[in-house]
Amino acid sequence: MSAALARLLRDPVSALGLVIVLFAVVVAVFAPYLAPYPEDAYESHLLQRLRPPSAEFPFGTDNLGRDILSRVILGTRNALVVAVSVVVAAMAIGIPVGLVAGWRDNWVSDVLMRLTDVFLAVPQLILALALGQLMRPGIETAMVALALTYWPFFARTVFAETRRLRGALFVDALAGIGARPTRILLLHVLPNALPAVLVRATIGMGFTILTAAILGFLGVGAAPPSPDWGLAVAEARQHLPEAWWFPTFPGLAILLLVLGFNLLGDGLRDAADPRLRRSRR
């Protein structure tokens, strides 16, 4: 794994992705200490509305007079928590489905994979909007919708790898010496799928952050006064073009973090897949 990391860092573009993501994680962890005005998550100061960037407020202030830099910093934590939760939930559904469907070759497998196709066919935003109407609109609903539409990618990735390895001799040999299917799948087959799953998860993080921001923008994601980047861009619409700084900095934060995850995902795909290693040498 350390060799893979070294290869990853040798590629400047992937290294940049890693730096962006690590930076975002540090910012998220220490957000209340890094933000100049941490109380601006929920307080408003109507006397200092829509101030342009200055030494006092480097990113300016928003329509309720809150420091945008502080809210971008505080929003990092929300964005990452949403992304990690959604991707972990999607993996928790998709990986077992892929393993079982790939291992079996009967109606169970067919039912699981057709179900996967059905969920794959559902447009993410539409499902989120519909769920928002059915349930209470909010960030939790958006996360459920995102997880429900993202697990098929993991299921398909793991399914393909399980199918490929199911007939492999080392799997037959394991079964021959009495290894249970759970053991074979979790200890011997799943590790083969992990590089692909890791890449999918990393790209999924960026994708989730982007979609969560869109949902926030559409009003079915995070609700005010939560310091959400997508929500901030939505609130800023009424104050354009005068308050250009209001949507710009939260928007740049979205751009940067999504870009970071995508660059890292691409880099990981090249570096961590044992089958690609030789060709990259």
Partner 1 sequence: MNDSPMPSPLLAVEALSVHLRTDAGLARILDDVSLTVPPGRTVGVVGESGCGKTTLMRAILGILPRSAFVPRGAIRFEGRDILADRAASARGRIGFVPQDPYLSLNPVFRAGDQILEIMRRHAPGTRRDHRAKLIELFRAVQLPDPEAALEKYPHQFSGGQRQRLLIAAALSCDPALVVADEPTTALDVTTQREILALLRRLAAERGLSLLFVTHDFGVLAALCDSVTVLYAGRVAESGPTRAVLDDPRHPYTRLLLACHPDRASDLTGIPGTVPAATAQPAGCRFHPRCPIARADCANAPPPLLSLPGGRSIACPHHADALPEPALA
Minimum CB distance to partner 1, residue 109 (Å): 14
Contacting partner 1 (CB under 8 A), which of 2, 238, 242, 278?
278
Minimum CB distance to partner 1, residue 187 (Å): 10
Asked whether 250 and 191 are in contact (CB, 8 A), the reply is no
- Residue closer to partner 1 (CB basis): 46 or 275: 275
By CB under 8 A, is residue 169 in contact with partner 1?
yes
Location of structure tokens 């249970």 = 180
Measured from the Cβ of residue 111, the count of other Cβ atoms closer than 10 Å reads 11
The kind and range of the H/E element at 31 are helix 31-34
Q: Which stretch binds partner 1 (CB under 8 A): 33-41, 70-78, 166-174, 202-210?
A: 166-174
Cα distance between residue 75 and residue 217, in whole Å = 14
- Residue closer to partner 1 (CB basis): 113 or 236: 113
Contacting partner 1 (CB under 8 A), which of 33, 55, 107, 275?
275
Asked whether 97 and 155 are in contact (CB, 8 A), the reply is yes
By CB under 8 A, is residue 168 in contact with partner 1?
yes
Residue type at 214 in one-letter notation: I
CA 91, 25, 36, 247 dihedral sign is: negative
By CB under 8 A, is residue 170 in contact with partner 1?
yes
Minimum CB distance to partner 1, residue 170 (Å): 5
CA distances 27 to 11, 20, 30, 46, 264, Å, are: 24, 10, 5, 27, 18
- Residue closer to partner 1 (CB basis): 12 or 274: 274
Query: Residues 172-191 vs partner 1: string with x where CB under 8 A?
Result: xx-xxx----------x--x
Residue type at 230 in one-letter notation: G
Partner residues linked to 67 by β-bridges: 61
By CB under 8 A, is residue 55 in contact with partner 1?
no
- Contacts (Cβ under 8 Å, ≥6 apart) of 118: none
At 157, list the tokens: 């990735």
For 98, the 3-state DSSP assignment is helix
Minimum CB distance to partner 1, residue 184 (Å): 10
By CB under 8 A, is residue 109 in contact with partner 1?
no
Q: Residues 194 to 253: which contact partner 1 by CB under 8 A?
A: 194
Minimum CB distance to partner 1, residue 192 (Å): 5
Q: Which stretch binds partner 1 (CB under 8 A): 131-139, 147-155, 258-266, 271-279?
A: 271-279
Binding positions for partner 1, rule: CB under 8 A? 165, 168-170, 172-173, 175-177, 188, 191-192, 194, 274-275, 277-278
